[in-house]
Amino acid sequence: MAKKDAPPRWDRKMQQRLARGEAAALGEFYDRFASLVHGLAHRVLGDERAADGITRDVFAHVWEHPETYDPQQGPLRSWVAGLTHRLAVQRLRATETAALTQGGEGAVADTEELERKVHRASVAARADYIVQAMPTPLRAALELAYFQRRDYRQAAADLSITEDEARRRLRLGLQLLSTAHDTGAPGAPPGYGGAA
């Protein structure tokens, strides 16, 4: 799944190489983050072509303005996720607003419903990111319990851990995941710093 153990050194070097205008660095950057970017954009927008468009915009932004990333503020991965989130939610709001004005088929009924839809998409995307970024032991426990319907005792046996530990991982994993609901200041999407 996600490569999340890239040391900050990698982040800083990557930023320098992008700033220097190294096309090879852009390729490496894409290979590391494209599935994250595309996946988040798709979760927000629910559309393949739209997600492709956001992917293009995110990488273009990074390539044109690598200096806007500040390594002091956290890992490159969280920053890329936050950027993707912002652009995708902007796009969703724009297309939904346009549909609302034109009153087309499948458009939301009013601005209140629009905001609810944007909020739901936003939370869902953050939740995806949190699951990807959480420590593997937590994710593994959640996957067993949720997708494979194992109870915590079976999960403990599957993972060769104590039952106490299995309960602890399930609870901790859900606690992390529940932060997807926390919204902070607009423009600085939360949820991409803490869990990364």
Residues contributing to the site for other proteins (CB under 8 A): 1, 20-28, 30-31, 34-35, 38-39, 42-43, 52, 55-56, 59-60, 63-64, 123-124, 127-128, 131-132, 135-138, 142, 145-147, 150-153, 155, 164, 166-178, 180-181
In whole angstroms, the minimum distance from the beta carbon of 103 to other proteins comes to: 30
- What is the smallest separation between the CB atom of 105 and other proteins, expressed in angstroms? 25
Q: What are the CA-CA distances from residue 79 to residues 16, 58, 66, 132 (Å)?
A: 16, 11, 11, 15
Residue with Cβ nearer other proteins (97 or 165): 165
Assess contact for 171 and 163: CB atoms under 8 A: no
CB of 97 to other proteins, least distance (A): 25
- In the complex with other proteins, which residue's Cβ is closer, 102 or 160? 160
DSSP state of 140: H
Q: Which is nearer to other proteins, 23 or 109 (CB)?
A: 23
Cα–Cα distances in angstroms (integers) from residue 105 to residues 46, 95, 109, in the given order = 17, 13, 10
Chain-centroid distance, C-alpha 78? 8
Based on CB atoms, which residue is closest to other proteins, 97 or 154?
154
* Residue 185 DSSP one-character state: S
Q: In sequence order, what DSSP letters do the residues of 154-181 get, joined into one string? A: HHHHHHT--HHHHHHHHHHHHHHHHGGG
Residue 1 or 109 having the CB closest to other proteins? 1
74: left (phi over 0), alpha (psi -120 to 50) or beta: left
Residue placing its CB nearer to other proteins in the complex, 110 or 184: 184
Minimum distance from CB of 96 to other proteins (Å)?
A: 20
- Angle at alpha carbon of residue 51, lines to 67 and 48, rounded to 5°: 160
Answer whether 169's CB lies under 8 Å from 162's CB.
Answer: no
